[in-house]
Amino acid sequence: MKTYLKTHLLDFIIIGSLLFLALISLIIIESVANTKSVKAEIYLKGELVLTIDLDKETTEKEIAISDNIKVMVKKGAIKVVENNCPSGFCMAQGYSSSPAKPIICAYHGLYIKLISNNSSDSDIDVVAG
Amino acid sequence: MRKTRLLRYVTLSLLLAIAIVLNYLESFIPSIGIPGVKLGLANIVILICLYKYKVYEALTVDLLRVVLANLLKGTFLSIAFYMSLSGAALSFLVMFLFMHINKLKPLVISVIGATFHAIGQIIVALIILQTSGILLYLPFVMLASIITGILNGIVCERIMNIKINQDFKNE
């Protein structure tokens, strides 16, 4: 009988490399995750539809983005509260307050980009810190 | 000969049915930590097919699984379907290549498959949203894929070591 339980060094090297790659990227992202957001740019299908100054928000406020999508904003944070997409992952994400944690709904092409004072124009500059 | 072929197709159909049911059932399991991350239990079946059957048969099971599971969930031809299809296709291709380049154990192939499934989905999301911000999700999803890949790989290895399944690969 052929056994599939024998482990080789190469097995450890491959899993170890993938794990190392994921952890290093995660550490870099988490290092910028504490940066507070001051602005939220809301894109629908690649088009900027709304920019919200999160620093100026003092109370929780609901804003309609389209017929199907509503967001809730408070000081420094934003979340999706209404969306008719089948998965509802964007709503499950809850409040996001870090540029390293954008809110995305692929179903509607929704992308909420959070910007801090330190962020430059490029999207992935936040990854590089 | 005819009986063997019949048995082969019946077994493949059963494996496909198991993959669809696992795919459907895991949509009821809430995501832990990262929204949208699933266990990928159907990959256990695809891995078994890759090891025990011919490559075109395993690919057929994989693609039919994606189509039928999405039909069942009512997401056929939606963005979720294309993301699922791209993830499944990329993961199958990479698993097949690694299986033949090096004789790696199923656990490693499972981890590679899960990781590339996530990468395939991120690529489609990147094309749809046309924003590089989606790449920020990659490390989180990759880490979750490695964990689920290890779990699925362990289950797969245990199943393949049970001497009840006929090996159809060389028939």
Task: Print the SS3 string covering chain B.
Answer: CHHHHHHHHHHHHHHHHHHHHHHHHHHHCCCCCCCCCCCCCHHHHHHHHHHHCCHHHHHHHHHHHHHHHHHHHCCCCCHHHHHHHHHHHHHHHHHHHHHHHCCCCHHHHHHHHHHHHHHHHHHHHHHHHCCHHHHHHHHHHHHHHHHHHHHHHHHHHHHHCCCCCCCCCCC
A125, pLDDT greater than 50: no
Residue A15 domain-assigned? no
What is the model's pLDDT at position B73? Answer: 80
Q: How many C-beta atoms lie closer than 10 Å to residue A16's C-beta?
A: 10
CB contact under 8 A, B132 and A93: no
Residue A113 domain-assigned? yes
Residue A43 domain-assigned? yes
Residue A72 domain-assigned? yes
From first to last of its 171 residues, what are the pLDDT tens digits of chain B?
Answer: 677 788 888 989 999 999 999 988 887 777 666 666 788 888 999 999 988 888 899 999 999 999 998 888 877 887 778 888 999 999 999 999 888 776 788 888 999 999 999 899 888 888 877 777 778 788 888 888 999 999 999 898 888 877 655 555 555
Measured between alpha carbons, how far is A4 from A17 in angstroms, rounded to an integer? 22
Residue A25 domain-assigned? no
Residue A86 domain-assigned? yes
Q: Tens digit of pLDDT for each residue in A68-98?
A: 888 888 888 888 888 887 777 778 778 888 7
CATH of the domain at B72: 1.10.1760.20
Residue B171 domain-assigned? no
Domain count, chain B: 1
Domain count, chain A: 1
Interface probe with B: pick from A8, A15, A112, most Cβ of B within 10 Å: A15
Residue B98 domain-assigned? yes
What is the model's pLDDT at position B166? Answer: 54
pLDDT band at A123 (very low <50, low <70, confident <90, very high): very low
Task: From chain A, pick out residues whose CB is under 8 angstroms from the CB of B73.
Answer: 86
Q: Which of residues 89-148 of B touch A (CB under 8 A)?
A: 102, 104-108, 111-112, 115, 124-125, 128-140, 142-143, 146
Residue B169 domain-assigned? no
A124, pLDDT greater than 50: no
Measured between alpha carbons, how far is B81 from B79 in angstroms, rounded to an integer? 5
Domain of residue B67: give its range: 2-160
pLDDT band at A2 (very low <50, low <70, confident <90, very high): low
Residue B40 domain-assigned? yes
Q: Tens digit of pLDDT for each residue in A22-59?
A: 888 888 877 766 667 678 888 887 788 888 888 877 78
What is the model's pLDDT at position A129? Answer: 27
Task: From chain B, pick out residues whose CB is under 8 angstroms from the CB of A96.
Answer: none
Sequence-distant (≥ 6) Cβ neighbours of residue B72 within 8 angstroms: B20, B24
Residue A5 domain-assigned? no
Which carries the bigger pLDDT value, residue A83 or residue A124? Answer: A83
Residue B165 domain-assigned? no
Domain of residue A90: give its range: 33-128
CATH of the domain at A111: 2.60.320.10
Residue A7 domain-assigned? no
Residue B167 domain-assigned? no
Which carries the bigger pLDDT value, residue A2 or residue A25? Answer: A25
